[in-house]
Amino acid sequence: MTEQELLSMPDDAYMDATQQAFFRTLLLAQRTELQARISGEFQAMREFEPSSDPSDLGTVEEQRHWQLRLLEREKKLLDKIDEALERLSRGDYGWCQDTGEPIGLRRLLLRPTATLCIEAKERQERQERHMREG
């Protein structure tokens, strides 16, 4: 099934078996791709031969720090994908955790790990902004 076919389905088909299968496939593909990237980054870090030139040490340390931050972010995304797959298996996937309303196919296509509908996410962001400012 293509994204266009998914979006052309009737509203009452929201999160039926076909749509759940589409998102399960999408999430599993993203998970596989992410695991390969993480594995590749770890391999590159293990194989890295540090230079004995002291002037390179700062650059090397900066690059290593950047790689570790990237790996941390990718690990968090991997956790979110696993959580989304768990919600799929429970039948909770696609429904807003705050309101119980549908998150929406377009939002899920853009962010398959979304747990909030757009209105709830905007409300959360406003509250976070208010907390930072106040």
Six-digit token pair at 128? 């976070």
Q: At what angle do helices 54-90 and 17-47 cross, to 10 degrees?
A: 160
Q: Are the C-beta atoms of residues 114 and 96 closer than 8 Å to each other?
A: no
Which pLDDT belongs to residue 52?
Answer: 65
Is the predicted pLDDT of residue 79 greater than 90, yes or no? yes
- For residue 70, give the nearest of 48, 112, 37 by alpha carbon: 37
Average pLDDT for residues 83-92, to the nearest whole number? Answer: 97
For residue 13, give the DSSP letter. Answer: G
Q: How do residues 23-43 score in pLDDT, each as one tens digit?
A: 999 999 999 999 999 888 888
Residue 95 phi, psi dihedral angles, 5° rounding: -115, 135
Which pLDDT belongs to residue 53?
Answer: 67
Which pLDDT belongs to residue 40?
Answer: 87
Indicate the fold that domain 14-92 takes in CATH.
Four Helix Bundle (Hemerythrin (Met), subunit A) (1.20.120)
Q: Where are the domains of the chain?
A: 14-92, 94-134
Q: Are the C-beta atoms of residues 67 and 45 closer than 8 Å to each other?
A: yes
Q: What are the helix (H) ranges across the chain? A: 3-7, 17-47, 54-90, 105-110, 118-133
- For residue 81, give the nearest of 128, 114, 107, 117 by alpha carbon: 114
pTM: 0.82
Distance CA 38, CA 6 (A): 30
